[in-house]
Structure 1
Amino acid sequence: MPRGRRGRLDAAGRLSESGGESLLKFGLLEAEVGFRQQVTIAGAGRVDFLIGRRLVVEADGAAFHTSREAFEEDRRRDAALSSAGYHVLRFSYTQIEARWPEVWASIRAALDRGDHL
């Protein structure tokens, strides 16, 4: 593998479970936003990214989030997280891949509001 691509692959790490998660991780790293990945939160289960103490960012690919059951489970988890004081941002793979400025603007606004504190 070419050296330049190998570094990007290494940066993705082993915690990313989808291409969308890897792309989101690259964006957060580039923006120098600190985060934890694949964090388990009581009542909600594992979340893709936790920024600070309270901002959850989920990267949803069509493979795991389009069935009726998965849709309902995502809403249950969002409600549980909200009840526990977390703020949730949920983005599709297409948003992350094709409309990164829109995704970043939403994350930046949440950080500016202090949603991560």
Structure 2
Amino acid sequence: MKRLDELTALLAGLGGVSRTGIVTEHGFGRRTAEAGVASGAITRPRRGWLAAKDADRMLVAAARLGVVLTCRTQASRLGLWVHDHRGRPHFAIPPHSARKLPFEAKLHRGRCPVPRHPDALVDPIENVLAHIAQCEPFEQALATWESALNKNLVTVESLRGLHWKTEARRVLERAIPFSDAGLETYMRERLRWLKLRIRVQIWIGGHRVDTLIGDRLVVQIDGSHHVGSQRSADIRHDAQLMLRGYRVIRVSYHQVMFDWASVQDLIMRAVAQGHHLAR
């Protein structure tokens, strides 16, 4: 009979949580699992499941509740841009399931583009994006999709080969892989009406800029980390851009998120004065 330390190593290799049947297939008997539970090295989230004591708490919870992590919840776990990380968790369950949870959660029952293995505790990235497109407003869904593209978790080409619902097809038609953060997606989408060329995350003079409108109007978005030495570097870069003939507008995260009208007004006036044109 295999030893307990071998069982804990197997669970770690399986992501920390596994069905008991898979453990049995690897040659571990019931006594070894029982010894692990008794010692505290292993937990039993639910009948038919085993977990290492240091397993990811979200995976343990998914096994205990009989759900799959998806949509905003799994997107956040993957480090993708999500408009708001707060709020109820999002889980996937079988289409005709009547499962009820002891707390408020968003339950996704719809069919997905990629088949989901019955033992899965997390959705494939394509399914996560499918639920995002159904669940979030267009602009927010687009930002999450572009974040996944930017992190190379998916490609536009691979996504085009799948069958999508109407909302997801619309997002895919507009998605590009260059936006490093959701605010750049918001900026590009909100300014489409200007009918100007808008590029994000491009290199000018050895530095990346957040957004370039037309030929010469640069819009930089400052986050909370733009202080101290970072702020000094930003000032130097702005000066270099201006010496190269660019005009720079620098706005904050708060302005883009909560005071878009003022940001749009600045850009409209800069465009009206021709600051986006090459001289």
| Residue 36, structure 1, aligned to residue 199, structure 2 | yes
4+ aligned runs moved over 6 Å, structure 1: none
Aligned pair 1:5/2:136, yes or no? Answer: yes
In 2: Cα distance, 1:24 partner to 1:38 partner:
12
Match of 1:14 in 2: 177
More helix by share: 1
Which residue, 202, 208, 218 being the options, matches 1:56? 218
Q: Cα offset for 1:40?
A: 0.8
Q: CA contact under 8 A between 1:16 and 1:22: conserved in structure 2?
A: yes
The structure whose Rg is larger is: 2
Residue 7 to residue 101, structure 1, CA distance change in 2 (3 Å)? closer
The alignment partner of 2:211 has SS state of strand
In the superposition, the TM-score normalised over structure 1's length comes to 0.84
With over 3 angstroms needed to count, the CA separation of the structure-2 counterparts of 1:19 and 1:39, relative to structure 1, is same
Work out the percentage of aligned pairs sharing the same amino acid.
37
Q: Is the 8 A contact 1:47 1:57 kept in 2?
A: yes
The alpha carbon displacement at 1:85 in A equals 0.6
Q: Which structure 1 segments of 5+ residues have no match?
A: none
Aligned counterpart for 1:24 among listed residues 187, 194, 200: 187
| 8 Å CA contact retained: 2:184, 2:200 | no
Q: Tell me by how many angstroms 1:59 deviates.
A: 1.4
CA shift, 1:28, in A, is: 1.7
Q: State how many pairs are aligned.
A: 114
- Cα pair distance change 1:12/1:30, threshold 3 Å: farther
Q: Would the aligned equivalents of 2:209 and 2:219 in 1 still touch at CA under 8 Å?
A: yes
Task: Check 1:29–1:4 CA distance in 2 against 1; reply closer, same or farther (3 A cut).
Answer: farther
| Normalised TM-score (structure 2) | 0.38
Cα distance in 2, alignment partners of residues 95 and 42 from structure 1: 27
Q: Give the letter aligned to residue 35 of structure 1.
A: I
CA RMSD, 1 decimal: 2.1
Partners of 1:52 and 1:33 lie apart in 2 by 6
Aligned-partner residue type, residue 57 of structure 1: V
Instruction: Note if contact 1:12-1:25 (Cα within 8 Å) is conserved in structure 2.
Output: no
Query: Residue 179 of structure 2 aligns to a residue in which SS?
Result: coil
Instruction: Return the structure number with greater relative CO, CA threshold 8 A, min gap 6.
Output: 1
Which structure 2 segments of 5+ residues have no match? 1-130, 143-170
